[in-house]
Each structure stands twice: as C-alpha cells, then as structure tokens.
Amino acid sequence: MDGVFDVAIIGGGVIGSAVARELSRYQLRICVLEKELDVCNGVSGRNTGLLHSGILNEEGLLRTECCKEGNAEFEQVARELDVPFRRCGKLIVSFGEEERIRLEGLYRRGLKNGIPGIRMIGHDEIKEIEPNADGDFAIFIPSAGILCPFTYTIALAENAAMNGVTYYFNEEVTGIARAGDGMFAIHATSGTFVSRWAINCSGLSSYQISPMLGFDSYKPKRVKGQYEILDKKAGAYLSLPIYPTPNEYGAFDVHVTPTIEGNVLVGPTIENIGTELDYSATQEMINTLGCSGEKLFAQVKRDYYIRNYVGIFPTAEDPLTHAELDFQIQTKPSVPHAVNLVGINSPGLTSALPIARRVVAKVKEQELLIVNKTFNPVRKGIVRFSSLEREEQDRLIRQNPDYGEIYCRCECVTKAEIKQAIHNVLGVCTISGIKYRTRASMGRCQGGYCETRLTAMLQDELRLDKTDILLNKKGAYMFTGKVK
C-alpha cells in the first residue's frame, strides 16, 4: 500500500466501482480494497444482466427511484463507458384467469411507478413482438434492457482507475479501528490501510463490515438462485427477456433472458439457504430450470446447456418485521466519515450509478469536495474483432498481424485482444481476468481449446512461471508442477 487515503472503498463489485468512479470526479486519494483477484467476482458477476425498468418494486422505495434513474440514463452511460447494451424491452406473460388478475395488479403498479410506455397486450401482439413467446396476456415493458454485468463493472473500475483510483486486490478487510485523529485504520490481508473515509460496498459481507465500521449489525437473509446458460444457437430464437406472472406471494419463478452476447440465461431458481455461501448446483434444480424454462421458451433443451452458475441475493432483513430491507445508504453522527451500504439487492446493477451519486451526496454533507478538473468520463473497451465488418477486420490485420490469429475459436477472439486484456489498467493477471475482458473461453467448448494458449500467453507477456498462473482465485493454480 502507498500512503494515506482520503477514501477507502471496501469491495470492488459494481457498487464499489460505481462509487469509486463517481468520487474520482473530485480531488481525493481513493483506494478500493477487494478481497478477490479482480473486480466483479461477487454478486455483480452472478446475476441476470437485466437493466430493470422499476416495475418490480413498490412505489416510494429507494430501490425503485434508483432503478428508474439508472434505467433512464443508460444510453449515455453505455456510450461513455463503451458498454454494449440493448434496450430490447421485456414481456411478463400470463396464462389463464388467475394469472391475468395478478398481472393486472402488476400493471397498475407499473403505471403508479411511472414506468414509460408499458402496456397490457394480448396473445396476437405477444406473438408479433416475439414469435417464440407465448401467453394469453402480457405486460410489455419497452424500457427494459440487457447488458453484460462483467463489462459494465470492469468499465466502471477502469474509468475510476484512469481517473486516479487505486485498486488493491487480494486485500480482505478483517478489522477496522479508529485512531485518535479520527482516521480509519483498515486491517486487510497485506497490512493496514489508513483513510479519512471508509465506505462499505462489500455486498454479501456488508453485514460483517457494518459493525466493524460502527454501524448496527443486521441479519442477512440468504436466498440462492441457480442459472443455466444456453448456447448461442438457442439465443438466435429469443429477442427479449420473458418473465412469468409472479406467484401469489409476488415472487417470480424461473425466467428466460437473452444475453447481450447472444446466449440465453434460464433462471434463477429461488432457494432459501442458511448463512453459508452455498454456490453448489444441484441436479434437482437443473431439472427445475429445464421444466420451468421450457414453459416460457421452447428452446430450453439440454443439448444447448453449456454451463451453470449460482447467484446469492445480498438481502438484509428488518430486525423487527423480518421483511426485506430497502437499499440502505447509511451515515451516523457518531461515525463521521463513513458510509454503510446494506441490502443492495436487485436491481442493484441497474441502480449502481444512482446509488453512487447518493453516496457522493452523503460525503458532501460532511465536507466540501473540490472538483477534479481532469476527470474524464469516457473509457474505451477492447475492440471486439468478431463484431467488425470484414473490411474493418482486414484493416486491423494489416495494422497488427495479431488480429489475424484466432485464439478462442468459439467466440472468435484474437491474439491482439488477449494481449490487450493481459495488460489491463487494473493489473489483473488471471485466466478469468482475460475471459471476462474478451470472452475467450466463454463459448461452447468453455476453454477446452484456448485455455492452454491463454496460459502460455500470460506466461510470456508477464514473464511468469507456469506454476504461478491462477484460474481466478488465490490457490486456483492452472499447473502445480511437471508430470515428467
């Protein structure tokens, strides 16, 4: 670590990175302390990637307000940060009379929440919008969209880093003390970070960091959701997310969502779990995903399954009512210079920048911030060779022959893109770091073809030994030694 900071942000998910980016608009020395080896390794990388509209939450909640704000501004955000995004709309479909009545209730909430352009439609219009969807009635929500949560989080973090924020990986915060001069002494894996401000953006660990900072402890409510990822062959048949009508308790069963890259996500299931972070996938739930998913979209076939994953909702419980808490952005007079974020559950991805702006406003309540005149909101991502027209591809190959060498065949990722990913501004050097920056190994073969080449390239570019190279986490070595 390097000196004393004005602000230490705990957690490098979409929220911590959005807060880092928004605070870098001011003259502050900022660091992000992240326990994993890259950003987006927590909840932010294990969700549906939907730009929610705000229909799913009650009027008047902070999460509804932030969601609507985040949704409305996303064209500009996507342009500034070079994040692929499609405002494709969404269908919530109903079958039969009982579901229609519940759907109308949801529609009325949508009107009350001021969701732009929503309308109730019948079977024929459902088919017009998406021939592969079905239902007697549906709510069509034109403002909903899809984005890649990895690209978005990486873009926020890179933009923050470009504007002076320092990211420290492999730094798990284990304790926080307050020195006599009011500075925070934040104990982490490699030592102690000293900072005037501390901001808790630690997602699922927020309930542990809260009392360390001097805020109330609260009870996490762990709900797990399993997903199946389908091949792009299935994606060719789905243009927008299809949700079923919520059940009588207001919960949504499994839905189907196209990804911005052309795959399809089926899920999540909803399972209450204990306090352990259980990321296991079960055959029972894979079967459930298949049965529920195919009711909405006929292409949910086992042949198309390429991978599964689990997300855990960072839900916080009201100690009195046991109901789920709204987003909490807490400050406390007895704990100056601290902001505590709790219960940043869905739609946290959509709401990241609106939440970050509210954090900045809380900081401004306690001190005058001086504008960073060199702040640049624009970040450019790695150009995707596969998305270019043939002439543009030819031009790039002529300029740099590394564009002519395909490393990942499934996703058509070139050597040039992989090199750029290895030399990323955050200094991430894992195989997954390359994967989430380029899509290498995210296709049908899941790295069977390219992973050894990615390893060799990391080794060459960063002058590492083979046995130093990690898949994604501390201890996850690609190689442990020679067989012969």
Ligand X SMILES: Cc1cc2nc3c(=O)[nH]c(=O)nc-3n(C[C@H](O)[C@H](O)[C@H](O)COP(=O)(O)OP(=O)(O)OC[C@H]3O[C@@H](n4cnc5c(N)ncnc54)[C@H](O)[C@@H]3O)c2cc1C
Binding-site member from 54, 110, 268, 447 for ligand X (CB under 6 A):
268
Which range, of 46-54, 133-141, 358-366, 462-470, touches ligand X by CB under 6 A? 46-54
**List of residues 6+ apart from 281 with CB closer than 8 A:** 226, 308, 309, 310
Tokens of 319: 């100690």
Shortest spacing between CB 408 and ligand X, in angstroms: 25
Residue 445, classified by CB atoms within 10 Å of its CB into exposed (0-12), middle (13-18) or buried (19+), is middle
3-class secondary structure, 362: helix
E strands in 358-456: 406-408, 413-414
In the chain, DSSP finds a helix count (H) and a strand count (E) of 14, 22
Query: Closest approach of Cβ 345 to ligand X, in Å?
Result: 5
- The residue from 24, 44, 288, 438 that contacts ligand X (CB under 6 A) is 44
Shortest Å, Cβ 373 to ligand X? 28
Closer residue to ligand X, CB minimum distance, 137 or 150: 150
Q: Which of 238, 210, 246 is nearest to 101 (CA)?
A: 246
H-state helical runs in 82-122: 96-112
Residue 89 touches ligand X, criterion: CB under 6 A: no
DSSP-derived letter for residue 269 is -
The answer to the question of residue 205 lying near ligand X (CB under 6 A) is yes
Q: Are 263 and 236 in contact (CB under 8 A)?
A: no
363 phi/psi in degrees, rounded to 5: -65, -45
Report the residue from 145, 203, 244, 443 that binds ligand X according to the rule CB under 6 A: 203
Residue 55 interacts with ligand X (CB under 6 A): yes or no: no
From 52, 187, 255, 423, the catalytic residue: 52
Instruction: Determine contact, residues 356/201, Cβ cutoff 8 Å.
Output: no
Interface residue with ligand X among 6, 7, 8, 11 (CB under 6 A) is: 11
Residue 473: count of CB within 10 angstroms of its CB: 15
Size of the site for ligand X (CB under 6 A): 41
Q: Which residue is nearest to ligand X (CB)?
A: 348
52 touches ligand X by CB under 6 A = yes
- What residues numbered 162-181 form the site for ligand X, per CB under 6 A? 172-173
Give the nearest distance from C-beta 200 to ligand X in angstroms: 9
* DSSP per residue, 8-76: EEE--SHHHHHHHHHHTTBS--EEEE-SSSSSS-SGGGSS--EE--S-SS-TT-HHHHHHHHHHHTHHH
Interface segment toward ligand X; rule CB under 6 A; list 137-145, 195-203, 429-437, 470-478: 195-203
The binder of ligand X chosen from 6, 22, 34, 158 (CB under 6 A): 34
- One residue of 8, 9, 14, 242 binding ligand X per CB under 6 A: 14
Q: Is 36 near ligand X (CB under 6 A)?
A: yes
Positions in 303-342 near ligand X (CB under 6 A): 311-314
Q: Tell me the per-residue interface mask from 206 to 245 with ligand X, x by CB under 6 A, - otherwise.
A: -------------------x--------------------
DSSP assignment string, 18-33: HHHHHHTTBS--EEEE
Q: What is d(CA 251, CA 245) in angstroms, rounded to the nearest whole number?
A: 9
Query: For this structure, is 123 an active site residue?
Result: no
Residues that bind ligand X (CB under 6 A): 10-16, 33-36, 41-44, 46-50, 52, 172-173, 201-205, 225, 268, 311-314, 344-350
Residues belonging to the active site: 52
